[in-house]
Structure 1
Amino acid sequence: METSKGLPVFELVMLLFFTVGAILEIISFSIYRNSRNLIENGIETKGIVIDLHRLKPREYPLAPSIRYIKRDGTAHVFHSSEGRNPPEYQIGEEVTLYYDPKDPDNVHLKGNYLFVYVFAGMGAVFWLFSIWYVGSAVKAIFQWIFG
């Protein structure tokens, strides 16, 4: 009679790392796809940075607040949720942006793919540590479950 092996902890951790990496890559691709969709189907316009605001009290990364004129002639202010240290934009700077006419707070600043890079980079790190073990991890877990 065969003795059962213990829980394959290392293999489970490697499979978890691979899964987390895949989720982060999917998030990155989704953000990129939504930005590209807004660029292709949204309205391009120019805006002026009117303020730099903190995302959290007493934290330095500053995000821009941008005033732009919608196609119907009304002014709208977009408060970005992407802060940087040092700030990427200066007050008074003109920027190109794309907005959704149905949702003017859905804005993409031209050339701004920070979140895409952050999520893709984190996903790549998780994959870097796990990709070499995925096949053997799946095999070990399968054998552990089904004997």
Structure 2
Amino acid sequence: MQVQVRGRTVRRWVVAGVSAFGGIFLVVGLILTWSSVSLLREADRTTGRVVALQWRDADTGSSRTSRGRDEPSAYPVVEFATTDGTAHTFRSSTGSNPPSYEEGERVEVLYRADAPEDARINGFLSLWLLPLIFGGIGLIAAAVATGIAVFGRRRA
């Protein structure tokens, strides 16, 4: 009898912990989704040009000029002009290997007029990768917590 009480208590703590973890990730995923939707709705749009690919190591985050064995990611550096003609350059926060963009490629840039330094490329990775990762982890954690709770009740 004592083992079942401990088992139920442990199960409750596990369900509570996994639910809290999943809830935090779901909230972060929703905030990131709202940020991307808000940017799409309110941002000014212009055409930019990829002027460079900045290779960065996945483990250290240090910059490189050439590719090495540790599979770095290429982050596009984009140059664009705002509606008032001011030139801006930014490095995308999303990199990939193989590169998603080539030097000289034209891309659509989204930026807020009051903060053009926070521009983003209008692409799937830069807008939706982080919301999908955080939301997906949150949903998986919620499913695991639900499964543990349901299995535990049926077993008891």
Q: Work out the percentage of aligned pairs sharing the same amino acid.
A: 27
SS, match of residue 50 in structure 2: strand
RMSD: 2.4
Deviation of 1:111 after TM superposition, in Å, equals: 3.1
Deviation of 1:94 after TM superposition, in Å, equals: 0.8
* Equivalent position to 2:140, from 102, 112, 125: 125
Q: What CA distance in whole angstroms lies between the structure 2 residues aligned with 1:105 and 1:125?
A: 35
Question: Alpha carbons of 1:72 and 1:134: their partners in 2 closer, same or farther (altered >3 Å)?
Answer: farther
Matched residue pairs, number? 135
TM-score, with structure 1 as normaliser: 0.79
Unpaired runs of 5+ residues, structure 1, are 140-147
* Equivalent position to 1:66, from 56, 78, 97: 78
Deviation of 1:48 after TM superposition, in Å, equals: 0.7
TM-score, with structure 2 as normaliser: 0.75
Question: Alpha carbons of 1:54 and 1:14: their partners in 2 closer, same or farther (altered >3 Å)?
Answer: farther
Check conservation: 1:20, 1:123, Cα contact below 8 A: yes
Higher relative contact order (CA 8 A, sep 6+): 1
Unpaired runs of 5+ residues, structure 2, are 65-70
Match runs of 1:44-59 below 5 Å: 44-55=45-56, 56-57=61-62
Q: What CA distance in whole angstroms lies between the structure 1 residues aligned with 2:143 and 2:151?
A: 15
Q: Where has structure 1 moved over 3 Å in runs of 4 or more?
A: 133-137
